[in-house]
Amino acid sequence: MSYKYPVGVLGAGAWGTALAEHLAGACGHNVLLWSYDKKAAADIKKKRKNSIFLPGYPLSEKIDVTTTPEDVAKNCKVILYASPVPHCAEMAAMLAPILKEDQTVVISSKGFRESDGAILTDVWQGMMPHFHNLAVLSGPTFAHEVAGHKPALATLAASRKEVLKEVDKLFNSSLMRLYFTHDLIGVQVGAAMKNVIAIGAGISDGLGMGENFKAGVLCRGIVEMMRYSHSLGGERLTLSGLSGVGDLMLSSHEGSRNYRFGRYLGEGMTAKEAFEKVGSTVEGANTAAILTVQGASKGIDMGVVMAVNGVIHGDIDASRTFRLLLERPRVVEFDIDEDLI
């Protein structure tokens, strides 16, 4: 059943286009998709495809496209933000004078603000202090699979039950099962940090350190995700769900550009060479730098994150860095057992 209003999607990259196709093609809604790229917009409008950012997937006739983001704010009751993280504050500031209290913004991008490590809901809230209908959609969802109408599960976070219900009604297809939580912080931390840990998994494989060690890197990375989330007021348990462990599982193999970037580093490429070979945004690289600064300022032990950041910035050789993880002082596995040593 189609929704009364068109559903807005801000961002016509791979993920934004996939979301638009799911909402239109699988759920039957009219969708208004904003694209900053005029060539991509023309491609979608005339040829019903996005050859630039998501080639190979036909797009529903129910998707309309605009190159003016204000159009989305003026015409859509529920808006999904799927643009790059660095543009988040600018977009929030631009739309703040237009958005009304009964509208909802769903953050579906992953990362932190570079200047202070803020989660993205806080970025939007800072620009719109009186706007409270914010939600976060995250989980193990490759864009090409969602665009190809393959089934997926994801987490939807919001502080208000009515927001959860409204957004859930939009995802009315059996192809996308949503699970609900009020933990906006934990979901966003998992969404952003899994990219860094996925780079670590790639470095481990590039170095040929074996499956045992990679499994250890992933597990210790999850602990670091829990620690960081807890320091911001999030719940540790959230990181064991779809937006934490689930998304990390998806991102820790060849299908993930963060993983491939890490593997190239482990194989001996410089960061510049690895970026060029991946050929698209590697979110975890910038996130690693942000987390290293924020973790140090908060006194949080994040050895995997720091090791990944060190390798990316060439501070230390990849092989030596990851072997140092094995030589760190031995500690309890979980912080709750600190009285054991």
* CA-wise closest residue to 249 among 155, 157, 138, 139: 139
Angle at 276 between CA 273 and CA 282, to 5 degrees: 105
Domain-by-domain residue ranges, the chain?
A: 5-182, 192-327
Q: Does domain 5-182 have CATH number 3.40.50.720?
A: yes
pLDDT of residue 335: 74
pLDDT of residue 112: 97
Catalytic (active-site) positions: 194
Question: What CATH class has 192-327?
Answer: mainly alpha
Residue type, 71: D
Whole-angstrom CA distances from 296 to 186, 228, 290, 293, 305 are 19, 11, 10, 5, 11
Map residue 2 onto helix, strand or coil: coil
* pTM, rounded to two decimals: 0.94
Q: In what order do the strands lie in the sheet with 78-81?
A: 63-66, 31-34, 7-10, 78-81, 104-107, 134-138, 152-158, 176-181
Polymer length in residues for the chain = 341
**CA 150 – CA 338 distance, rounded (Å):** 44
Query: Does residue 63 contact residue 44 with C-beta atoms inside 8 Å?
Result: yes
Residue pLDDT tens, the chain, 341 long: 456 789 999 999 999 999 999 999 999 999 999 999 999 999 999 999 999 999 999 999 999 999 999 999 999 999 999 999 999 999 999 999 999 999 999 999 999 999 999 999 999 999 999 899 999 999 999 999 999 999 999 999 999 999 999 999 999 999 999 999 999 999 999 999 999 999 999 999 999 999 999 999 999 999 999 999 999 999 999 999 999 999 999 999 999 999 999 999 999 999 999 999 999 889 999 999 999 999 999 999 999 999 999 999 987 899 999 989 999 988 888 876 555 55
DSSP string for residues in 242-310: IIIIIHHHHHSSTT-HHHHHHHHHHTT--HHHHHHHH-S--HHHHHHHHHHHHHHHHT---HHHHHHHH
What the block records as the tokens of 198 is 């996925």
**CA 280 – CA 88 distance, rounded (Å):** 19
* CA-wise closest residue to 322 among 338, 306, 299, 300: 306
First CA to last CA distance, the chain:
59
Angle at 329 between CA 324 and CA 335, to 5 degrees: 115
